[in-house]
Amino acid sequence: MNNFNAAGIATVRVVLGVIMLAHGIQKFAVYTVAGFEGVLGEIGVPLAGLLSYVVPTVEVAAGALLILGLFTRIAGVLTLGVGLAALFTMHIGNGLFVDEGGYELVLLIAASGAGLALIGGGRFSLDAVVPLGKKTVAQAA
């Protein structure tokens, strides 16, 4: 992998990580868990009480892991899951554009998560240097 490819992966990984981290913090600090639970309950999401804690926790954790480039493939899968859940529960019926409550952002989040799950963290990540058993995370993938 050349440095340009590695830099491209790192750019996507870090930007996606910041977005995920910010969304999780926003749910905890601005919307509040109770407020998010109310939104989930209004749209008929089962287990809204549990998911009102799980979703922002996953967003914060996945965001931090993506920024660090640590367990990137796992963080990518978690991001894909959150993006698809948001797509199909809240945004799909509103059209494409985000200013109308549409799905363009969550679709991009899901697709970016899928891409990182497939390609990993790249050369400029902790995955490339942190040992996992006798191999680095990147070598084990």
Give the CA diameter of the chain.
50
Which pLDDT tens digit goes with each residue over 107-124?
999 999 999 999 999 999
The H or E element spanning position 131 is: strand 131-132
Task: Find all residues with CB under 8 Å of 29, minimum gap 6, and list them.
Answer: none
Of 65, 73, 61, the residue nearest 23 (C-alpha) = 61
Average pLDDT value for the chain: 94
> Quick one: DSSP state of residue 136?
E
pLDDT band at 137 (very low <50, low <70, confident <90, very high): low
Is the pLDDT confidence value at 134 over 80? no
> Quick one: DSSP state of residue 98?
G
What is d(CA 33, CA 128) in angstroms, rounded to the nearest whole number?
Answer: 35
Which pLDDT tens digit goes with each residue over 35-82?
999 999 999 999 999 999 999 999 999 999 999 999 999 999 999 999
Mean of pLDDT values over 3-7: 93
Q: What's residue 130's pLDDT?
A: 86
The answer to whether 66 touches 10, Cβ cutoff 8 Å, is: no
The answer to whether 123 touches 6, Cβ cutoff 8 Å, is: yes
For the four alpha carbons of 4, 8, 9 and 11, in that order, the dihedral sign comes to positive
**pTM of the prediction?**
0.91
